[in-house]
A and B are shown apart, each in its own frame.
Chain A
Amino acid sequence: MTKEKHQIEVRASRSALKLYQSLLMGEWKLDTVRQTVALLLALLRSGGVSLSFRWETRSKQHRKIKKVPVPDFASDGFRERLEELNEQADLPDVPQSLPSRRTTENIELAQLSTMCGALLDVQTIVDVRGDDGFLKDVQSLLVATCIHELLPELQAKGLHDEHDLLVNLIARHLVIVWRNEPGQFFFLQGSLLEYLGNRDHAGAALEAAFRATPPDAHEYLTRAQAVWSYFIEEGRLGDAEELALRLVRSVREDDLAEATGLLRDTYGYVHRQASG
């Protein structure tokens, strides 16, 4: 028998919305992760709960989250992509236990990564109602800032176990929370795979994100540029050109200058490559 999850109703306060906006528009750094964590904790408190957590040591074998569950209601295309990515998943092992850290800086970083993992895992413990969409928005910001700020910092400071665990928790969070929004799911997954150095699969995920985004969506040009950049950096200039041409034909009038700019840049790269 499945145990029914506890239901909470969160509410976004004015100060929470303001903080979210400022984090979204400010320069991202490690402190952005800390503030996003604080925002999520406050949001959960608005639902009448406070999180406390601790890590438990595992006495058995290493366990690796290699595969992400494919939801029953996934479309054929989404299912195909997930199954393909499952075969190619290149996530690090989940550590057997987390070591004690000694320096103040490392302790703070380890605690921060623990909190991030817990906050990305909330939906597996409780059923969130109310402003749950806002909670997801803030979690998305947390995922993005973890990938770009916290994970590199953990790695640089040698906190590899915390790093590997957080990578796995992010991967799982994406499937649990974003499976119904393929555009965002694949974009975040592509970002994670790019970070992990899995260039081929990252490119495939970014392309899937672009394909899942309609031309009239605000994300269209941003996701297109992510794919275009990937093509350029991989030396796939023909694909970059094809994409830029497609954009010129499909973007909104407001975005035409940017799309044309991408096409112009593409020819600049083609010219530089031709002239050696």
Chain B
Amino acid sequence: MRGSPSPPGTVTGTSRVRLRVRCVPVMSSTIGGDDPAHDLDPDEKDRFERELRKSARELVGRDIRRRRRLLAQANEVSREKSKRAHQK
């Protein structure tokens, strides 16, 4: 909104690509804090991750797009597990 006054605290930046982003201050409505109690059971994640890899194995050379998607999802789940393990 070129020309209009920005609210106090507004930050405007332009990336090297062409993306113009304005950060406008707002009131926060969330409750802070990372609560591990809301984490899923690690065994459940483990099973899910193995299931993803197993399904991906069955798709090798047959449905490459789906195979890649399943491994990408397994990677995100694995990463999350590693992070949790390091936090303990």
Q: Which of B33-48 contact A (CB under 8 A)?
A: 33-35, 38-40, 45, 48
> Chain A contacts of B14 at CB under 8 A?
56
A34 part of interface (Cβ distance < 8 Å): no
Q: Are B82 and A141 in contact (CB-based, < 8 A)?
A: no
Report yes or no: A219 in contact with B75, Cβ–Cβ below 8 A.
yes
CA of A133 to CA of B40, assembled, Å: 18
Cα-based distance from A63 to B17 in the complex (angstroms): 8
> Number of contacting residues on A, CB 8 A?
74
- Scan residues 52-79 of chain A and give those whose CB is less than 8 A from a CB of chain B: 52-56, 58, 63, 65
Looking at chain B, what size class is its interface with the partner chain?
A: 35 or more
Look across to chain B and name the residue whose beta carbon is closest to the beta carbon of A43: B30
- B23-A50 in contact (CB<8A): yes
- Contact (Cβ within 8 A) B30 A232: no
Q: Are A125 and B11 in contact (CB under 8 A)?
A: yes
Within 109-166 of A, Cβ neighbours of B (below 8 Å) are at 117-118, 121-122, 124-126, 131, 133-134, 137, 140-141, 144, 147-148, 152, 165
List residues of chain A with CB within 8 A of the CB of B80. 24, 137
Instruction: Judge whether B76 and A140 touch: CB under 8 Å.
Output: yes
Distance of A226 from chain B, by nearest CB (Å): 5
A-binding residues in B (CB < 8 A): 1, 9, 11, 13-35, 38-40, 45, 48-50, 53, 56-57, 60-61, 64-65, 67-69, 71-83, 85
